[in-house]
Structure 1
């Protein structure tokens, strides 16, 4: 079931048990824009079925926020102009050259090119896999792009991100709404979950320059400004407490700075920033 944020914005909530991220719909007077293509053919079809129940303009554009499989494998179903930034285009091209038969999928899992869960979803939710091939994106932009849906402007921008190097956000100025995709999350490198400490403040700066009251995230659905401010404050305070590969030192610094023990979220962030320090120390 679609959630209605305004007369012009709807979203399909994330389903983490199925690795399904939030999908967005922005409607102008003439056209509609979909944000992210879903993790499979079935995910996209479920979204399109919900859209068909609305009296909205036809979907003309599909913006992909980044090149992680759960955000683009369903993109063919929308019969829309696909928009990506240049790096996302390069990364999706790798998947365009994949074969999706069982043997090939198993080989990709063995070589860590995809997860076993991704393989299972492809096998269960993408029919005609022997002939499946991702469409080529139609519009490729460098840094930013403005789309007019008819009295409804959408601004797409590639931002600096702790999640991926190719993160695109979609901002709708008159709605004060921003779709962040997964840009505000951490990432996994060498089996370690971490937030890229060097990019944290730059990412927050890129996002906060937009006047937004509503934030749609890939795996939390929707947050308001107060919730995002808490998220940013916790991330920043934890990042400042981490200057080495020692979690004990990080906790000690945090407790000294705040005169209290870290809460559950803060402990998670502290561990993630310590992991980032560990990864950097190995690179050095």
Structure 2
């Protein structure tokens, strides 16, 4: 079932057990816009069935927030103009060369081109996958793009991100709502989960320049301003004490600076920033 955020904004909640991110729907007077297409044919079809229950203008546009498989593998199911930034386009082009039979999927997993979970989802939720070929995006932008749905403007911007190099956010000014995709999360490199420390403050600045009150995230669904501010505060407080590859030193520095032990979230973030230093030193 779609969650109604306002008269013009809906979202399908994330399902982490099925690796399904939040999907968005923004409706203007003339057209509607979808944010991310889902992790598979079935995910996309489930979303479309929910949209059909609503009395909303036809879907004309789709924005892919970044080129991670769970956000774009459903895109063929939508009769919409697919919009991506230029780097997302390059990454999707790589997937257009993939074949999706069992032996090919296993090869991609063995060579770290695809996760085992991705293979499992494709096998379960993408019928006719032996003949499946991912479509090409229709509109490619560099930095920003504004879409008018009819008395409903959506601002797209590629921003700096601790998660991926090709993150696009979607801001709806009159609603003070922003869809962040996965941009505010960390990532995994060489089996180490980390936040890209050098991009943390630039990312927060990119996001906070928009006057948003509600934030839709890929794997949390929705947060208000207070919740996001707590998240930013814990991230930045953790980042400030990590200067090297030593978790012990970083934790001691946190306690010295803040006169307290880190909470569970802060300790998780400290470890992630230490991992980032380890990756940068390799």
TM-score bracket for the superposition, by shorter chain length: over 0.9
In 1, Cα distance between equivalents of 2:43 and 2:133: 17
- Partner residue of 2:74? 74
- Partner residue of 1:159? 159
In 2, Cα distance between equivalents of 1:117 and 1:190: 17
In 1, Cα distance between equivalents of 2:41 and 2:156: 24
- Partner residue of 1:133? 133
- Partner residue of 2:255? 255
Q: CA deviation at 1:116?
A: 1.0
Q: CA deviation at 1:260?
A: 1.1
- Partner residue of 1:36? 36
When normalised by structure 1's length, the TM-score is 0.99
Q: CA deviation at 1:72?
A: 0.2
Q: CA deviation at 1:280?
A: 1.1
Q: CA deviation at 1:138?
A: 0.3
Q: Where does 1:52-63 land on structure 2 (aligned, <5 Å)? A: 52-63=52-63
Give the count of matched residue pairs: 282
- Partner residue of 2:272? 272
- Partner residue of 2:149? 149
Q: CA deviation at 1:130?
A: 1.4
CA deviations 1:116-167 (Å, max 9, x no partner) are: 1100100110111111011110000000000000000000000000000000
Whether 1:117 and 2:117 are equivalent positions in the alignment is: yes
State the SS of the aligned residue for 1:135: coil
Whether 1:18 and 2:14 are equivalent positions in the alignment is: no
Q: CA deviation at 1:15?
A: 0.3
State the SS of the aligned residue for 2:76: helix
In 1, Cα distance between equivalents of 2:107 and 2:251: 42
State the SS of the aligned residue for 1:61: strand
State the SS of the aligned residue for 1:188: strand
CA deviations 1:34-65 (Å, max 9, x no partner) are: 00010000000001100000000011000000
Aligned Cα root-mean-square deviation (Å)? 0.5
- Partner residue of 2:228? 228
Which blocks of at least 5 consecutive residues in structure 2 are unaligned? none
Q: Where does 1:133-212 land on structure 2 (aligned, <5 Å)? A: 133-212=133-212
In 1, Cα distance between equivalents of 2:102 and 2:35: 29
State the SS of the aligned residue for 2:215: strand
In 1, Cα distance between equivalents of 2:214 and 2:111: 39
In 2, Cα distance between equivalents of 1:224 and 1:31: 27
Q: CA deviation at 1:258?
A: 1.3
In 1, Cα distance between equivalents of 2:43 and 2:93: 21
In 1, Cα distance between equivalents of 2:170 and 2:210: 10
CA deviations 1:4-39 (Å, max 9, x no partner) are: 000000000000000000000000000000000100
CA deviations 1:86-133 (Å, max 9, x no partner) are: 000000000011001111111111111001110010011011111101
In 2, Cα distance between equivalents of 1:217 and 1:253: 31
Structure 1 stretches of at least 4 aligned residues deviating more than 4 Å after TM superposition: none
